[in-house]
Amino acid sequence: MTKITVAATQMTCSWDVQANINQAKELITKAANDGANIILLQELFERKYFPQQQKPEYMDFACKLDDDLAIQQLQQLAKDLHVVLPVSFFEQQNTNRFNSIAIIDADGSILGIYRKSHIPDDVGYEEKYYFTPGNTGFKVWQTKYGKIGVGICWDQWFPEAARCMALLGAEFLFYPSAIGSVPKHPKINSRKHWQRTIQGHAAANLIPVVVSNRIGTETIDDSSIRFYGSAFITDQTGEIVEQADQESTTVLTHTFDTDKIKQTRNSWGLFRDRRPDLYKTLLTLDGTEKH
């Protein structure tokens, strides 16, 4: 296949896990009916965004890959609809917990998992309390509909992550997200900054990018976040070709010709002209090169 249709979605989430999964199924089915081959759901969609607050009891939400309710049900749906589904979940592995995503291929099989590499720590986004930094490294999977790379929310602020997935052969980049207002700091609005950053990943790597996000306001105790929504799809130049609003439950689809994108990428020479011998500074934390 050279023409691939991708989909981004956005929806509200409650504490009712099965209700959230049912809503996700509806969006996936709509996207598939619209011709989508690869469909992206948002980050941690099984519940409200629980890292808003540090609560030890929320640790019990984590489970092993084989025990996750959404993954169990969406494996069957992927098989029935012949679609690829990157599915976010709160993973437990022995004594550690990860913010992870399982890649379900169009036959319902799981190709593997990616564990979120960059873990944020901010007011209302207390992820370092819950998640161990991922140990999988950046990965690319050969699905029925092409090679895809997936980063998770905070990963989308790091050009290094996008570049690594591009170097591994990704034809599309997917970013499930949970981004919105900052509790107690109402003047902060990073929505446009967030989108421009991701557009740069597409442009610099000549790869289309698909982003899903939450909508609605979620309140936990004295903390409240209004999520930006604004799910979007860029083309390989970074131009936004599909854009959701900030409030509506939405399915976006767009069709790309991967052969034409490959020809464009080849003509630019962006990967031919890279100089990894000059990039050693990227392997340091503070810019101090070790000798």
Task: List active site positions.
Answer: 43, 116, 153
- Contact yes or no for 160/282 (Cβ under 8 A): yes
How far apart are alpha carbons 202 and 199 in whole angstroms?
5
How far apart are alpha carbons 258 and 262 in whole angstroms?
6
Instruction: Give every CB contact of residue 120 below 8 A, 6+ residues apart in sequence.
Output: 127, 128, 153, 154
Q: β-pairing, 209-212 with 217-220?
A: unpaired
Residue with token string 């890279």? 274
Which residue, among 37, 31, 113, 36, has the nearest Cα to 71 in the 3D structure?
113
Q: β-pairing, 140-143 with 146-150?
A: antiparallel
